[in-house]
Amino acid sequence: MKLYTVGILGATGAVGQEMMRILEERDFPVGKLVPLASARSVGKTVKFKGQDVAIELACDEAFEGIDIVLGAAENDIAERFAPAIVKAGAVFVDNSSAFRLNPDVPLVVPEINPDDAKKHKGIISNPNCSTIITCTAVNALNAISPIKSMVASTYQAVSGAGVAGMAELENQIAALLEGKPAEVKTFAYQIAYNLIPQIGGEQEDGYTSEEMKLHYEGRKIMHLPELNVSCTCVRVPVMRSHSISVQLHFDKPVSVEEARECLAKAPGVKLVDDLNAKQYPMPLDTSGQDIVYVGRIRPDLTDPNGLCLWCCGDQVRKGAATNCIQIAELLTK
């Protein structure tokens, strides 16, 4: 078996650390791990397969000899180093949004469009976390009848804002229980015991940048260039796993029974759908694993060609780190 030299750009962040755990969990054929970060982290170590691995400085020269670079950094860092990664001959599997809508860069969810990864020119993009979860949940239904449009509301955990988001929720709850004011740093408002109906800045027609990701990325991933998606993104006081309420509008009617049968066999999906037994997807159940749970499947009372459903998935794993590594696995086949 060929072994690969794997770099992680942004190795000290929440997604970078998760990538290392999942590489080990999935027994990815790593011959050498190269964790890369900024100067302030150089000299520190990370654990991989029981060994301490020194963090190296992310610079143009660092990518020489690396086969695959997993990107877990922000857009500016991805854009800064992408040319050097490609020039060094590595494939850059990038979790940032920097290249997602570039027509020359594949945007891949392996359960949906694995063949697109083969078309790469040195860069493959990992989609937005809510986009991955939603598209994994609904894509199989598109084979029954083409999806014409979709209305989605995402309920996004604080870990979507990284370690700082999780710490802010914990600190605010602790402070409020002690009768102290909640300190607001990471989010625009107090998140403890609250909902914030904005993620990202305004992009177009009153929709935020986060909301438009499902619209544009969904088209590209599912090969539905005419798909229209109206999305509302809400930050919720949940530690981990995003939840999405979805209304689907099809070209022709799809029955609840057809949908359940289809989703029960869909890759990357677990059907959890028994309202009488109080069985449905919840963030507590999906956290820490890689399957998207789908349930609450029912007719859309506003559209005879519509269905409603609810799905949940771990946005740090399947919505980011695991999907990146699944893409990297495609490169080894």
* pLDDT tens per residue, range 311-331: 999 999 999 999 999 999 999
Q: What is the pLDDT of residue 273?
A: 98
In this predicted structure, the answer to whether residue 157 has a pLDDT above a threshold of 90 is yes
By percentage, how much of the chain surpasses pLDDT 90?
97
Give the start-to-end residue ranges of the domains of the chain: 4-127+320-331, 132-315
- What type of residue is 303? D
What is the CATH code for 132-315?
Answer: 3.30.360.10
Residue 67 gets which letter from DSSP?
A: S
Q: What is the pLDDT of residue 287?
A: 97
CATH H superfamily, domain 4-127+320-331: NAD(P)-binding Rossmann-like Domain (3.40.50.720)
Three-state DSSP class for 63? Answer: helix
Annotation marks residue 249 as catalytic: no
Query: What is the pLDDT averaged over residues 272-280?
Result: 98
Q: Catalytic one among 120, 129, 249, 312?
A: 129
Sign of CA dihedral 174, 177, 181, 187: positive
In this predicted structure, the answer to whether residue 113 has a pLDDT above a threshold of 90 is yes
Q: What is the pLDDT of residue 163?
A: 87
Phi, psi (5° rounding) for residue 68? Answer: -135, 130
43 pLDDT tier (thresholds 50, 70, 90): confident
Q: Catalytic one among 120, 135, 215, 242?
A: 242
Q: What is the pLDDT of residue 32?
A: 97
In this predicted structure, the answer to whether residue 105 has a pLDDT above a threshold of 90 is yes
Beta-carbon contacts of residue 10 (< 8 Å; ≥ 6 apart): 16, 36, 37, 58, 71, 72, 73, 74, 77
Angle between helical axes of 14-25 and 322-331 (0-180°, round to 10): 50
64 pLDDT tier (thresholds 50, 70, 90): very high
Query: What is the pLDDT averaged over residues 186-200?
Result: 98
Where would I find the H helices in the chain? 14-25, 75-87, 129-138, 162-177, 209-222, 256-264, 283-286, 322-331
